[in-house]
Amino acid sequence: MKIAGLFLAARDVPAEGTNGFQTQPSIEQEPSSAHKPRSLWGKLVSVSFLLPVFALLSVSNASAANRFSVATGNWNSNSTWSATSGGAGGASFPVAGDVVTVENGFNVTITAAAACSSLTLIASATTNGTTSQLTIGAFTLTISGAVSMGSDVNGNTRSTKILLNNASSVLDIGGNLTIGNGGGHGMATVDLSNGANTATTLKVAGSLTRNLTDGMFTPGTGSTVDFTGTAAGQTIDVTNFTYANIQTDNTNASGATPGAQVTSSNVTGSISVATGTFNNGGFAITLAAGKNFSVSNGATFNLTGTTTMVAVSGGGTKTFGATSTVDYGGAAQTVTAETYGHLTLSGSSTKTMPGTTTTVAGDFTTSGTASATAGAAINTSGKVTLGSGSTFNASTFTHAVGGDWANNGGTFTPSTSTITFNGTGAQAINGTAASQTFKNVVLTKTAGPTFSVSGSSTP
């Protein structure tokens, strides 16, 4: 009989109670009295159920192949690879799901988009002065798991290296990147500069660590390291690494956080928060002259401890998307005058407000036991929310509000301020507070949109 392209003799069916094919007595043979034969149809059904299982096992095995470099050449050349260490070349080149080892002093070059499940670079076991190397051209190598690399541990000068040599070179690692094994008789190097300060990109979803004995990291001045974790928060090691540019895309609730103070010595370029959350960890961040800090739409920057905003100089800029969030969530902190997206004052203690106008493109929120007194106008395009336990003193200034004003149990001191409601849509004074008192309220609205007051609010 012929099933799914495979020809099986009637006797080549699995024996009952077994997982493999065994030769059974032919159908014409007389069965023992203890075991009555199944019909040929029953055997066919058994085979039809087993074939998908075997097919799945075959696919599973194929997706987890081992590949070892046995020649210098391109990643997508079969002659570069063997299925065993030191074996004959000619194995299919690695694809997503494969476990890859670059070894024995060979240089493998990425000349098209490529993928695998993990990558290990091992120094040559026989030849001094050699480097087992992976070179990434103008393409992306995507590795779903971990990358590790080390040098020789037996007193020989044998090294490993990952080189990104093009502005379009991307190494995207879904797990940890470990540079160096403490061998000390060679180097394990990740070179993002190509000796020419190329604008390459390294993405790491796990941890980025370097052995100080033999691990070397060369960022140049144009590269970007992007922290892309989703399963857990990430600590950005600024003690044992120097970066050019840092980008964060960590979407875990814990976000990405530097492990120490950031200075122009350990980050020579800019920092951008593209998605997810970036925390300053209670450490000051001071960028080099002319470098920029940005928080994109939908992303969040949390400042904790007693720290203030990222410091830029020499023409450097700070940019906040209209739907980004900056949260001063520590203790006593100084708030700087910026054009924010959403601005939140949380945590505890006094938040010292700036003496020049603060512009909030989104919502202005106070929460926790934070206390703030306006030092100048705060112009908010969205909603103002005063959370329970927080305190806000409007002082003597005129503050514009484009959305609702909601007091949910916070303490509001109007002093001699004016609150101007100037939104283009319907607006309201509301919240859970039993009463709210304002000094001056001005409505600057076109005909049509409504303005409502709930509770016992009095001007």
What's the whole-number average pLDDT of the chain? 88
Give the tens place of pLDDT for each residue, 271-296: 999 999 999 999 999 999 999 999 99
Give the tens place of pLDDT for each residue, 4-18: 333 333 323 333 333
Q: Between vectors from CA 363 to CA 357 and to CA 364, what angle results, nearest 5°?
A: 55
Which burial class, exposed, middle or buried, applies to 190 when counting CB atoms under 10 A from its CB (0-12, 13-18, 19+)? buried
CB 199 within 8 A of CB 166: no
Give the tens place of pLDDT for each residue, 415-456: 999 999 999 999 999 999 988 999 999 999 877 778 888 755
| Range of lowest pLDDT (304-318, 400-414, 440-454) | 440-454
pLDDT over threshold 50, residue 359: yes
Q: What is the pLDDT of residue 445?
A: 83
Sheet holding 159-164, edge to edge: 73-74, 107-110, 131-136, 159-164, 188-191, 215-218
Tell me what the mean pLDDT of segment 211-228 comes to. Answer: 96
CA distances from 220 to 133, 178, 274, 291, 384 (A): 19, 19, 22, 15, 44
pLDDT over threshold 50, residue 32: no
Q: Where are the domains of the chain?
A: 1-21+39-62, 322-459
Tell me what the mean pLDDT of segment 96-118 comes to. Answer: 98
Q: How far apart are CA 222 and CA 73, in angstroms?
A: 27
| Range of lowest pLDDT (150-154, 364-368, 388-392, 438-442) | 150-154
Using pLDDT thresholds of 50, 70 and 90, give the confidence band for residue 205: very high
pLDDT over threshold 60, residue 184: yes
H-only helix segments in 166-300: none
Using pLDDT thresholds of 50, 70 and 90, give the confidence band for residue 185: confident
pLDDT over threshold 60, residue 69: yes
Q: What is the pLDDT of residue 16?
A: 35
Q: What is the pLDDT of residue 349?
A: 98
Q: How far apart are CA 298 and CA 35, in angstroms?
A: 69
| Range of lowest pLDDT (178-192, 316-330, 344-358, 408-422) | 178-192
Q: Residue with structure tokens 């709930």?
A: 454
